């Protein structure tokens, strides 16, 4: 029985980049964490230690900083495409580059003063393979080889009413009381894939798209009378796909940040939905993908539609499926 090298990739993780634009007295700040993973013809370094095909991860890190200086940093998707295309085009052994970007927000306090935003972060994962790295001047009609997935994490939302949970299945272990009025709170973890990003597609308005998706998610959460967080999840995903034609698919992971009504009777007090304990664990975790039905209508309608969780066969780790929620020890959750 032969022993062979399987999937492999390598790169620099968690490159911390802060870019200040000082064109005038009013500075602009971008704060990113960038991860790079390169895959391709890398068998020899694993077998014999021959490094001829290996661009050092140190060089990859330097490229991030150099590109930030040379090209600036505006939209994370754009910066990711720049880097991913660069590695596939310039390193002969590399046939696929995955660049993961996380943007940490800062609010302006003054012309050169900023306050770090709360837990909300914007993300992008850009993957380019050889088809996606064709010469910009001569794309030859190619459209494959590039995927851009944008996302948001840590968007904490709360409705203090218009949420109920009742009529659920009960077995001998069910103790949860039904409720027709509860707090519904979650920290939205969403990832969405942009449709048809071609190999030379430079021209999207990523900022407008991100703002639009975020607004659709928030709008649907706020406006949906919720009978379950599952219903709210689907309403959020549905709103995004209905309003944003550029989005092909969206995955959501919604932790149910349980808020339990405190029993104040021992103190001779009533509690008409006013005093809650926000529990942090365990918490319900509601996950789902919302996608477009193909023209032939073959998509499963029973919630079993493919989730892109299939193993990649190109020597790279599969990374899809519903996004993992931010498991923040300080986060909320609970049994209710
Ligand atoms: O919206 C909810 N969905 C559930 O599946 C569930 N399960 C539970 O205990 N509470 C809730 N709430």
- Give residue 93's pLDDT: 96
Measured distance CA(310)–CA(317) in Å, rounded: 10
- The average confidence (pLDDT) of the chain is 85
Give residue 296's pLDDT band: very low, low, confident or very high (50, 70, 90).
low
For residue 46, the CA-to-ligand 1 centroid distance in Å is: 48
Task: Read off the pLDDT of residues 247-270 as tens digits, 9 standing for 90 and up.
Answer: 999 999 999 999 998 999 999 999
Measured distance CA(309)–CA(81) in Å, rounded: 23
Task: Read off the pLDDT of residues 20-31 as tens digits, 9 standing for 90 and up.
Answer: 888 888 888 899
Task: Read off the pLDDT of residues 85-104 as tens digits, 9 standing for 90 and up.
Answer: 999 999 999 999 999 999 99
Q: Judge if 9-144 and 151-336 fold alike in CATH terms.
A: yes
Mutate to test the pocket of ligand 1, among 162, 165, 226 (most ligand atoms within 8 A of CB): 165
On the question of pLDDT at 315 being above 50, the answer is no
Which of the residue ranges 65-79, 119-133, 271-285 has the most confident prediction, judged by mean pLDDT? 65-79
The residue among 144 and 32 whose pLDDT is bigger is: 32
Listed range (64-68, 73-77, 229-233, 316-320) with the worst mean pLDDT? 316-320
- Give residue 56's pLDDT: 97
- Give residue 322's pLDDT: 44
Q: Spell out the domain ranges in the chain.
A: 9-144, 151-336
For residue 229, the CA-to-ligand 1 centroid distance in Å is: 7
Is 163's C-beta closer than 6 angstroms to any atom of ligand 1?
A: no
On the question of pLDDT at 233 being above 70, the answer is yes
Q: Quick one: average pLDDT of 297-326?
A: 43
Measured distance CA(304)–CA(311) in Å, rounded: 17
On the question of pLDDT at 65 being above 50, the answer is yes
Of all residues in the chain, the percent with pLDDT exceeding 90 is: 65
Is 9's C-beta closer than 6 angstroms to any atom of ligand 1?
A: no
- Give residue 292's pLDDT: 95
ipTM value for the complex: 0.98
Q: Atom of ligand 1 at shortest distance to CA of 227?
A: 1
- Give residue 152's pLDDT: 97
For residue 335, the CA-to-ligand 1 centroid distance in Å is: 9
The residue among 160 and 48 whose pLDDT is bigger is: 48
CATH class of 151-336: alpha beta
- Give residue 321's pLDDT: 42
- Give residue 137's pLDDT: 52
Picking from 329, 324, 333, the residue whose alpha carbon sits closest to that of residue 283 is 333
- Give residue 278's pLDDT: 87
Q: What is the CATH number of domain 9-144?
A: 3.10.270.10
Is 333's C-beta closer than 6 angstroms to any atom of ligand 1?
A: no
Is 170's C-beta closer than 6 angstroms to any atom of ligand 1?
A: no
Measured distance CA(143)–CA(191) in Å, rounded: 22
Measured distance CA(39)–CA(313) in Å, rounded: 12
């Amino acid at each position: 029985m032969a022993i062979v090298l399987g999937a492999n990739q390598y790169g620099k993780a968690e490159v911390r980049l802060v870019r200040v634009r000082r064109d005038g007295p009013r500075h602009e700040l971008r704060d990113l964490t960038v991860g790079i993973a390169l895959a391709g013809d890398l068998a020899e370094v694993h077998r014999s230690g021959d490094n001829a095909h290996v661009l050092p991860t140190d060089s990859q890190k330097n490229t991030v900083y150099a590109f930030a200086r040379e090209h600036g940093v505006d939209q994370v998707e754009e910066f990711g495409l720049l880097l991913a295309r660069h590695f596939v085009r310039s390193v002969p052994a590399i046939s696929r580059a995955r660049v993961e970007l996380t943007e940490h927000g800062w609010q302006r306090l003054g012309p050169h003063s900023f306050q770090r935003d709360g837990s909300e972060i914007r993300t992008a994962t850009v993957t380019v393979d050889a088809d996606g790295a064709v010469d910009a001047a001569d794309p030859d009609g190619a459209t494959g080889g590039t995927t851009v997935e944008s996302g948001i994490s840590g968007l904490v939302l709360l409705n203090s009413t218009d949420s109920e949970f009742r009529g659920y299945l009960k077995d001998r272990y069910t103790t949860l009381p039904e409720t027709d009025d509860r707090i519904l709170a979650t920290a939205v973890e969403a990832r969405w894939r942009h449709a048809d990003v071609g190999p030379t597609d430079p021209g999207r308005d990523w900022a407008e798209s991100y703002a639009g998706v975020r607004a659709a998610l928030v709008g649907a959460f706020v406006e949906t009378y919720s009978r379950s967080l599952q219903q709210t999840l689907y309403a959020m995903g549905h709103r995004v796909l209905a309003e944003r034609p550029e989005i092909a698919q969206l995955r959501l992971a919604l932790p149910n940040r349980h808020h339990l009504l405190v029993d104040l009777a021992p103190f001779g007090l009533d509690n008409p939905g006013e005093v809650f304990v926000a529990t942090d664990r365990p918490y319900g975790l509601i996950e789902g993908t919302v996608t477009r039905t193909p023209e032939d209508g073959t998509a499963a309608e029973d919630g079993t539609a493919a989730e892109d969780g299939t193993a990649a066969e190109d020597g790279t780790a599969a990374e899809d499926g519903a996004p993992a929620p931010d498991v923040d020890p300080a986060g909320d959750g609970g049994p209710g």
